[in-house]
Amino acid sequence: MRVREPDRLALFGGPRTLRREPAELFRWPIVTRKDEQAVLGVLRRGAMSGTDVTKSFEAEFAAWLGRRHALGYPNGTEAIRAALWACGVGAGDEVICPSMTYWAAAAPALSLGAAVHFADIDPDTLCIDPRDIEHRIGPRTRAIIVVHYAGYPCEMDAILGVARRHGVRVIEDLSHAHGSRYRGRKCGSLGDIAAASLMSGKSLPAGEAGMMATDDRLLFERCVAYGHYERTGGPSRFNPPDNQITDPELARYAGIPIGGYKHRMNQTCAAMGRVQLEGFERRAAEIRRAMNRFWDRLEGLPGIRAHRPAPGTGSSMGGWYYPHGLYRAEELGGLSCARFCEAVRAEGVSGCFPGANEALHLHPLFHTGDLFRQGKATMIAFGQRDVRQGPGSLPVCEAVEEICFSVPWFKRYHPRGIERYADAFRKAVEGHRQLLDRGEAEAPR
């Protein structure tokens, strides 16, 4: 597609597209009187360490997601750790995880003595590449962790097919994808178990909290036994008798969490989470309308595309957490993504940067980290085969700074404001010749 030559880019002294960034489009989380009253109610009762509000939140979360069980956590990282343990991951085992994601999807496996066998991502979805999983499965592979990255649903049919063939569990990391759908079904209701962050910046914010959800009673009970000691039926001077354990093997440890963790959610967060969940669909619908308006206005331009599923597939973005665009330098004469983003920022868009999360497989923790002080990297300390991978092994993850960029995450639908933002991106695309002619400069991050 031919693009028209625009005015001089702001990077070279032309007029900026946006003179000011309207904070009201981005304010998050949206905290109302209802949140405040709910949190105050917990404070006034002194019920921060109880479980009554959390249990109501769990029931509502499970119903919303369409799962039988949910369990609250102080954060998403702990929900992932518990899910891994519940799925049978232990010392000497392996899990498969995309390398380009937040560390919390992978690092808890090390704390269980397991190795992480990283897989590459698909450059169009930024999620784990389903074609890069099966050949990584070995005799000790216990689980595949999938991350619906930046809200984009993973290719679950293919992933579940591989997992079922090999008897491997699938853990969905839902932290980015509250409300996202895969072929009509909610993300988080597709694998064996789901774990989610509900921290303040997420599209379902509960302060600082996490949630696990599953249909499998045994997985649920293992999570309870692992870190929710007060629900295991043990004697307690501080809590009323409470027992969510029916499995006799787990019941033997009543009163003390098997993992030695204390995974109870602070009830001020549970209270906020309940209110936020109540308003979630309405707010997510407004976000979707805003984000789709932004991308619809840029449709058809060379070099950049929306990171969203195609319409009519039944797959969709939920709350659009951490939204990105896909970048294809070859359509813009080889212009680097960093330089493109620099031009967009000069037009007044402060949040446009190349890349997303850095590839984890190159991080020293997954090469030499020795969590158990054995004088040996935990990745190989328990007799695992060596699945550590060096530079060049996962080329898409390693090129993430060239294939995608962050875009503004609009929370409110204000068409004119949103269009100004889109105009800034359009101007950088249309002005790519100016950028090429003036040569590449390293964009400060």
Residues within the interface to ligand PLP (CB under 6 A): 75-77, 101-102, 104-105, 147, 173, 175-176, 197, 199, 210
Tell me which residue of 328, 323, 335, 333 sits closest to 305, measured CA to CA.
Answer: 328
User: Six-digit token pair at 316?
Assistant: 């969709």
| Minimum CB–partner distance for residue 77 and ligand PLP (Å) | 3
| Minimum CB–partner distance for residue 131 and ligand PLP (Å) | 21
In order, the DSSP letters of 128-158 are B-GGGTGGG--TTEEEEEEE-GGGPPP-HHH
Q: Which residue number places its CB atom closest to ligand PLP? A: 76
**Beta bridge pairs of residue 115:** 94
**Helix-, strand-, coil-residue percentages of the chain, each rounded to 5:** 40, 15, 50
Contact 430, 6 (CB under 8 A): yes
Residue with Cβ nearer ligand PLP (105 or 317): 105
| Minimum CB–partner distance for residue 226 and ligand PLP (Å) | 16
| Minimum CB–partner distance for residue 203 and ligand PLP (Å) | 11
| Minimum CB–partner distance for residue 436 and ligand PLP (Å) | 35
Query: Cα(306)–Cα(290) distance, rounded to whole angstroms?
Result: 13
Instruction: Label each residue of 195-235 as H, E or C.
Output: EEECCCCCCCCCCCCEEEEECCHHHHHHHHHHHCHHHECCC
Tell how far CA 79 is from the center of its chain.
13
Contact 223, 294 (CB under 8 A): no
Residue with Cβ nearer ligand PLP (199 or 360): 199
Specify the residue for token string 């991350």: 147
| Minimum CB–partner distance for residue 105 and ligand PLP (Å) | 5
Produce one character per residue of 310-321: b if its CB has 16 or more CB atoms within 10 Å, e if not: eeeeebbbbbbb
Could you tell me which residues come within 8 angstroms of residue 223 by beta carbon, excluding any fewer than 6 positions away?
71, 82, 83, 85, 86, 212, 214
Residue with Cβ nearer ligand PLP (361 or 427): 361
Residue with Cβ nearer ligand PLP (147 or 407): 147
| Minimum CB–partner distance for residue 3 and ligand PLP (Å) | 35
| Minimum CB–partner distance for residue 201 and ligand PLP (Å) | 8
Residue with Cβ nearer ligand PLP (54 or 175): 175
275 residue type, one letter = V
Residue with Cβ nearer ligand PLP (210 or 355): 210
Could you tell me which residues come within 8 angstroms of residue 416 by beta carbon, excluding any fewer than 6 positions away?
none
Specify the residue for token string 């409110």: 412
Pairing of strands 69-73, 210-214: antiparallel
| Minimum CB–partner distance for residue 68 and ligand PLP (Å) | 23
| Minimum CB–partner distance for residue 76 and ligand PLP (Å) | 3
User: Is residue 264 exposed (0-12), middle (13-18) or buried (19+ Cβ within 10 Å)?
Assistant: buried
Residue with Cβ nearer ligand PLP (270 or 301): 270
| Minimum CB–partner distance for residue 213 and ligand PLP (Å) | 14
Produce one character per residue of 212-241: b if its CB has 16 or more CB atoms within 10 Å, e if not: bbbebeebbbbbbbbbbbbbbbbeeeeeee
Residue with Cβ nearer ligand PLP (180 or 197): 197
| Minimum CB–partner distance for residue 205 and ligand PLP (Å) | 10
φ/ψ of 211, rounded to 5, equals -150, 145
Residue with Cβ nearer ligand PLP (74 or 309): 74
Residue with Cβ nearer ligand PLP (147 or 194): 147
DSSP class of 170: E
Could you tell me which residues come within 8 angstroms of residue 250 by beta carbon, excluding any fewer than 6 positions away?
221, 222, 224, 225, 232, 258
Specify the residue for token string 């105009």: 423
